[in-house]
Chain A
Amino acid sequence: MIERTPILNLVSQAILCIAFVAILSPFYIVFAAASHDFVTVNKVPMPLLPGGHLWENLSEVWVKANFGQAMRNSLISAVAVTVGKISLASISAFSIVFFNYRARMLVFWLIFITLMLPLEVRIVPTYAVAANVLSPLKSMLSFLGLSITLPEWNLLNTYPGLVLPLIATATGTFLYRQFFMTIPNELAEAAKMDGAGPIRFFWQILMPLSKSNMAALAAIMFVYSWNQYLWPLLVVTDQQNYATATMQLQKLVPSGQAEPPVWNTAMAANLIVLLPPALVSILLQRFIVRGLISTEK
């Protein structure tokens, strides 16, 4: 749509600016608060110009909350979840779109239904399984009247425990399915005529073609798993070694009871924790729109 009215241009520019300010001002306040010392940040009103204590606050909180270890944990689990989600989503979508088997639609709908069952809804059974991975197998066996002692195998306080329950993804599968469906049938047939088997077709043709799709999914999923809070809180009891960044951040936020409200360090911690997802989003942002809407041919 092309409109050439200066007033309309002006109005839309103004709306854009207001939205921009509305979105960015909380971030600015975080930044400003993180740069003051304890006394200044508790003044009413808090000065909005940045102070000179940013570096001091950052280094203090880095040590205090053991962020070295926590950021590493978060990074490992977020990368693992992202990679896992992409692999699982692409493979299951590949099966649903390119293979013709009887249970195909059933499988698709089963995956699709899990969209309505996020981790929070099924957290108790998920925890039970994480605490004893073989327990479903055990109950199945006992249902069949067999009593075999299986070894106890728990994933609490491990990286697989942090990662595996988050990997299944209906969103990703659906996104990949939509992308695969835009690929003309003839392309698969041409590959078949050239002698490419399904695995080769998947690796050498589908995967390179789905690059922007993959990047979009990666950005979304990285931010999603970086922001996980409830699950790590449950599965990690060894906070010294396996605490994630979001868990550590929570400990720094003043609860408003006994201790003094040290907002400056809390905000500095915030800056640290939001840096990796912000970087990932900025680096991959040009793919996000392209990967989610367009069909590149």
Chain B
Amino acid sequence: MSNISIRKVRKTYDKNEVVHGVDLEVAAGEFVVLLGPSGCGKSTLLRMVAGLEAITSGEIAIGNKIVNKLEPRERGCAMVFQNYALYPHMSVAENIGYALKIARVPKVERNEKIRSVAETLNIADFLDRKPAQLSGGQRQRVAMGRAMIREPKIFLYDEPLSNLDAKLRVAMRLEIRKLHQRLGTTTLFVTHDQVEAMTLADRIVVMNKGIIEQVGTPLEIYSRPASAYVAGFIGSPSLNMIKGVLNPETATITLNDGQALQYDLKRWPNLHAGEIIAGFRAEAVSLCNSSKSLTLNPQFIEELGVSRQLHCELAGEQIIVTSQSDHDVKAGIPLHVTIEPGQIQLFNAQTGVRLETEVYDVDASVTQIRKAS
């Protein structure tokens, strides 16, 4: 178990900077997920920690030892790749034991370790098979076994679940989490799937275009996204966001179609009039018939069994509203709803940065919000 310090790390390919000075501290034993769309630099960052990619500037330390110049094998990391990268000509046992073979661990001891790792991962029955004879999930386990057997200081996962089908993905997610609970190894996990990030992580690092947008626990990031970008990425469905004009006198936000949204004036007493982005969760919308209600146009309805997701149009923008299944809603028939003012979050219309509550903020001290500049 080791901590990882990433300090002002940059990566440039042919004068094209893809990681713009990232700072990140990962505590020993922590499970940190790097989350972002493809091309945001998360995999590059992971590969720099692994030693597969040179660091252009800045430094990375593992266990307080700077590893910039060390070879991958000297860093004490083990990595699981998206396409498993198993050696096709070796049996499962040979694949798992290859690192030990290179390290000249005696055969008896090696076989013992292979067996115990295989039993942990439930692949002891396939030890003699070749990777081509295994299913996707089994190959994934072999890849994890290969990483585990070296008892690394750090586990690195590069989108390990992307090649699995949905059901298996959920099962493997659970196993990765269980494995972490048992071994307690510091883990960096790269994914573009926010559900994976939310379910696995102790802390999530949301990345965008080579910078870190926000670092925080899944709940912090869900309930207090640092920017409109993070808000649009997290949650299923993600936060609804609508542009409007703020009027502090009436504590309302006027939308493009003239309808008004109420916000909580006590939380933001000093705002100036002007453009703003209002965000609210799909669950924060309640259906009603009161006169102060907003009118939405449902376009189509997704039935999920427990609830329904109504895809609606509001002031020219798409929003998603969750409703109980017993409500009588039809596509094309306008819908009256209210949104509790306390549920409205505000973002700067130009920068997308979240507007922090000015007066009272119960748990502001726990968040570590890095404002995107």
Chain B residues whose CB sits within 8 angstroms of the CB of A193 once the complex forms: 50, 52, 72-73, 77-79, 99
Q: Is B134 an interface residue (CB 8 A)?
A: no
Chain B residues whose CB sits within 8 angstroms of the CB of A296 once the complex forms: 88
CA distance A189 to B86 in the complex (A): 11
Chain A residues whose CB sits within 8 angstroms of the CB of B87 once the complex forms: 187, 190-191, 205
CA distance A195 to B82 in the complex (A): 19
CA distance A297 to B131 in the complex (A): 10
From B50, B83, B150, contact of A184 by CB (8 A): B83
CA distance A297 to B150 in the complex (A): 26
B88 CB, min distance to chain A CBs, angstroms: 6
Q: Is A192 an interface residue (CB 8 A)?
A: yes
Task: Report A191-205 residues with CB < 8 Å from chain B CB.
Answer: 191-196, 200, 205
Contact A189 B102 (CB under 8 A): no
Chain B residues whose CB sits within 8 angstroms of the CB of A184 once the complex forms: 83, 85
Main SS class of interface, A: helix
Chain A residues whose CB sits within 8 angstroms of the CB of B86 once the complex forms: 190
CA distance A269 to B50 in the complex (A): 63
B114 CB, min distance to chain A CBs, angstroms: 14
Task: Report B161-192 residues with CB < 8 Å from chain A CB.
Answer: none
Q: Is B81 an interface residue (CB 8 A)?
A: yes
User: Which single residue of chain A is at the shortest CB-CB distance from B78?
Assistant: A193
Supposing A189-B52, A190-B79, A297-B132 touch, asked if A195 and B85 sit within 8 A by C-beta, the answer is no
Contact B85 A192 (CB under 8 A): no
B177 CB, min distance to chain A CBs, angstroms: 22
Chain B residues whose CB sits within 8 angstroms of the CB of A186 once the complex forms: 81-83, 85
Cβ-Cβ contact count across A and B, 8 Å cutoff: 55
Chain A residues whose CB sits within 8 angstroms of the CB of B51 once the complex forms: 192
Chain A residues whose CB sits within 8 angstroms of the CB of B77 once the complex forms: 193
Task: Report B49-78 residues with CB < 8 Å from chain A CB.
Answer: 50-52, 71-73, 77-78
From A192, A200, A209, contact of B72 by CB (8 A): A192
User: Which single residue of chain B is at the shortest CB-CB distance from A190?
Assistant: B85
Main SS class of interface, B: loop
Chain B residues whose CB sits within 8 angstroms of the CB of A209 once the complex forms: 88-89
Chain B residues whose CB sits within 8 angstroms of the CB of A208 once the complex forms: 89
Contact A187 B85 (CB under 8 A): yes
Contact B79 A297 (CB under 8 A): no
Contact B146 A194 (CB under 8 A): yes
Number of B interface residues in the complex (CB < 8 A): 24
CA distance A208 to B94 in the complex (A): 14
B157 CB, min distance to chain A CBs, angstroms: 12
Contact B85 A189 (CB under 8 A): yes
From A187, A190, A194, A297, contact of B102 by CB (8 A): A194
Contact A189 B99 (CB under 8 A): no
CA distance A209 to B86 in the complex (A): 12
CA distance A131 to B85 in the complex (A): 50
From B82, B83, B89, B98, contact of A194 by CB (8 A): B98
* Interface size of A as a range: 10 to 19
Chain A residues whose CB sits within 8 angstroms of the CB of B98 once the complex forms: 191, 194, 196
B140 CB, min distance to chain A CBs, angstroms: 13
Chain A residues whose CB sits within 8 angstroms of the CB of B81 once the complex forms: 186, 189-190
Which residue, A184, A194, A297, has most C-beta atoms of chain B within 10 A?
A: A194
CA distance A205 to B77 in the complex (A): 21
Contact B88 A192 (CB under 8 A): no
Q: Is B362 an interface residue (CB 8 A)?
A: no
CA distance A118 to B178 in the complex (A): 62
User: Which single residue of chain B is at the shortest CB-CB distance from A209?
Assistant: B89
CA distance A205 to B88 in the complex (A): 9
Chain B residues whose CB sits within 8 angstroms of the CB of A196 once the complex forms: 98, 102
Q: Is B304 an interface residue (CB 8 A)?
A: no
CA distance A219 to B153 in the complex (A): 48
User: Which single residue of chain A is at the shortest CB-CB distance from B73?
Assistant: A195
Chain A residues whose CB sits within 8 angstroms of the CB of B73 once the complex forms: 192-195
A123 CB, min distance to chain B CBs, angstroms: 41
CA distance A200 to B98 in the complex (A): 11
CA distance A82 to B124 in the complex (A): 42
User: Which single residue of chain A is at the shortest CB-CB distance from B89?
Assistant: A208
CA distance A189 to B87 in the complex (A): 11
CA distance A196 to B103 in the complex (A): 9
User: Which single residue of chain B is at the shortest CB-CB distance from A200?
Assistant: B102
B142 CB, min distance to chain A CBs, angstroms: 11
CA distance A189 to B132 in the complex (A): 20
Chain A residues whose CB sits within 8 angstroms of the CB of B150 once the complex forms: 194
User: Which single residue of chain A is at the shortest CB-CB distance from B77?
Assistant: A193
CA distance A187 to B146 in the complex (A): 13
Binary B-proximity of A168-196 (CB < 8 A = 1, otherwise 0): 00000000000000001011011111111
Chain A residues whose CB sits within 8 angstroms of the CB of B82 once the complex forms: 186
Contact B50 A195 (CB under 8 A): no
Contact A194 B52 (CB under 8 A): no
B95 CB, min distance to chain A CBs, angstroms: 9
Chain B residues whose CB sits within 8 angstroms of the CB of A297 once the complex forms: 88, 132
User: Which single residue of chain B is at the shortest CB-CB distance from A207?
Assistant: B89
CA distance A189 to B81 in the complex (A): 9
B280 CB, min distance to chain A CBs, angstroms: 42
B105 CB, min distance to chain A CBs, angstroms: 11
User: Which single residue of chain B is at the shortest CB-CB distance from A185?
Assistant: B85
Binary A-proximity of B97-140 (CB < 8 A = 1, otherwise 0): 01100110000000000000000000000000000100000000
Give the A-binding residues of B (Cβ under 8 A).
50-52, 71-73, 77-79, 81-83, 85-89, 98-99, 102-103, 132, 146, 150
Q: List 16 A-B contacts (CB under 8 A).
A: A189-B52, A189-B85, A190-B87, A190-B146, A192-B71, A192-B72, A192-B73, A193-B50, A193-B78, A193-B79, A193-B99, A194-B146, A195-B73, A200-B102, A208-B89, A297-B88
Ranked nearest first, the 4 interchain pairs of A and B with the lowest CB-CB distance are A195-B73, A186-B85, A190-B85, A194-B99
User: Contacts A184-B83, A190-B85, A205-B87 given; 5 further ones with Cβ under 8 A?
Assistant: A189-B85, A192-B72, A194-B99, A194-B146, A195-B103
